[in-house]
Structures are given as C-alpha cells and as structure tokens.
Amino acid sequence: MYNNCDEREVALMIEGICLGNVMVDCDDQNKLREFYAELLGWERCELYDLPAVRSENGIVFLFISEPGYVVPVWPEQEGKQQKQMHFDFQVPDVSAAVKQAESLGAVKAPEQFGGTYFVTMFDPAGHPFCLCKAD
C-alpha cells in the first residue's frame, strides 16, 4: 500500500497528511491556468484568491505570477535556472496528445529522451512536462 516504504518510514509520516494542491510559479498566472484547463479538461476555479484548475478527483493546480520569474532550462545547463519538478501526464495516444498540447501553446522540447514512451514538452511559461504512453 505504501509503495516501497518500510515500516520505519511509514511510522514517521505525519498522521492524516495528504497532498493538498500544487502551486506553479510563472510569469502570467491567468494565461497558464487557461493552458492547463484546456490541456487537462479540468474545471477553472479560484483558491486563495489565485487562478486554479481542479480535476474531478480534487487535484488542484494553483498559478501565481512571480516578479522576476525565470524560465527553467531543460536539459539542465550549468549556471542556468534548472527545473525543480515536472508533471508526467498519462495519455492513450502520445502523438495526438502532442498535437493537442501544441495547439494550446505548448512547445515540443528540441531534445527528446523518451523513445516511444514519452515526449517532453514546455508549457507557455517554459515548465517542462511529459506526455507519457498510458499502460
């Protein structure tokens, strides 16, 4: 049930903890909300007075414009802003999902390492995300 956690690790877990929301820094919070709402088909909403999207099962991405936002570089380069995390989205048809994402403003990364399993894309704020072949 705990995906490779041993009993000691589980015992240290904060009781009742669960993922609440994912906050995404960007240069234009409204533009990025629109991109993810269209890409994922999630409901547009607001939370904490910030634009957000919410899935049917309650996952929430919040978007916040940050002054001086710097687009991450991928693959990583010495001395450049590196990605700190990225989303992997499971899709039934990777090629079709890539085309749809591009029509919404995403850009296919020039370098690809996923073979037939996944394609790395950049959202309109430059965050990398992957469209992965669903099992």
- Following DSSP, what letter does each residue of 20-44 receive, concatenated? -EEEEEES-HHHHHHHHHHHHTPEE
Is 80 exceeded by the pLDDT of residue 135?
no
State residue 116's pLDDT score: 87
Place of tokens 């687009």: 71
For the segment 5-10, the average pLDDT, to the nearest whole number, is: 50
For the segment 117-132, the average pLDDT, to the nearest whole number, is: 93
Which residues make beta-bridge pairs with 54? Answer: 43, 60
Tally of CA atoms within 13 A in the half-sphere of 61 that contains its CB: 22
pLDDT in tens, 44-86: 999 989 999 999 999 999 999 999 999 898 888 899 887 777 8
pLDDT in tens, 85-96: 788 898 999 999
Q: For the beta carbon of residue 17, count every other beta carbon within 10 angstroms.
A: 7
State residue 11's pLDDT score: 56
Q: For the beta carbon of residue 94, count every other beta carbon within 10 angstroms.
A: 19
Q: How do strand 21-26 and strand 50-54 relate by DSSP bridges?
A: unpaired
Which helix (H) or strand (E) is 118 found in, with range?
Answer: strand 118-122
State residue 41's pLDDT score: 97
pLDDT in tens, 13-46: 657 767 678 999 999 999 999 999 999 999 999 9
